[in-house]
Amino acid sequence: MFRVLFLLFIAVPVVEIMLLINVGGMLGALPTICLVIITAWLGATLVKQQGMSTMQSMQAKMANGQMPSDEIIASVLLLVAGVTLLTPGFLTDGLGLLLLWPVSRQWLVNKLKPHIVAKQGQSFGFQQGFGDYQQPSKDFDADPYTQPKDLNSNQSSTLEGEFERKD
């Protein structure tokens, strides 16, 4: 995990700066800045377009009663593509464009899909964090306003009490 964080927070910005300096030396400062701004704008436009397409596909699958698992993973990859395209630099732009390309994105979806598992009855393992959580007993009455069955049947289900208004 340390290596991944090291690459993300140290190595990638250093490589980005080196690339920006080299491209700026070859093209000049103003064309390099314009190129970075154009790739960010173009990337945001393409991410929006493909995100809408993915959302429509997701809605169509859900309307047919199918689980849109591929579309969910693809939408997360599109989010990552958008973030990397908005990040100034050519390395992150290359990664973002690679994620925008449908062929490479589908390949990555197929590679990631077996590793993403949702267990039945748990929503992504959130209940695992609550060690003292206990399931209600089998004789638990779901309606809190009805009387338990073992009490005297002469009692009404109306709660009586005094009410005093305090303003």
- pTM summary value: 0.62
Helices 29-63, 12-27: inter-axial angle, 10-degree rounding: 130
For the stretch 119-143, pLDDT in tens is: 554 454 444 444 444 555 555 555 5
- Looking at this protein, which amino acid is placed at residue 27? L
Q: Where are the domains of the chain?
A: 10-114
User: Residue 82: is it exposed, middle or buried by C-beta count within 10 angstroms (0-12/13-18/19+)?
Assistant: buried
- Helices (H) and strands (E) counted in the chain, each on its own, are 6, 0
Residue for token pair 């994620």: 99
Closest CA to 16 of 24, 27, 26: 24
Instruction: Say how far apart CA 57 and CA 64 lie, in whole Å.
Output: 11
- The torsion region of residue 39 among left (phi > 0), alpha (psi -120 to 50) and beta comes to alpha
Q: Give the H or E element holding residue 63.
A: helix 29-63
For the stretch 88-118, pLDDT in tens is: 889 999 999 899 988 999 999 888 888 776 6
pLDDT band at 7 (very low <50, low <70, confident <90, very high): confident
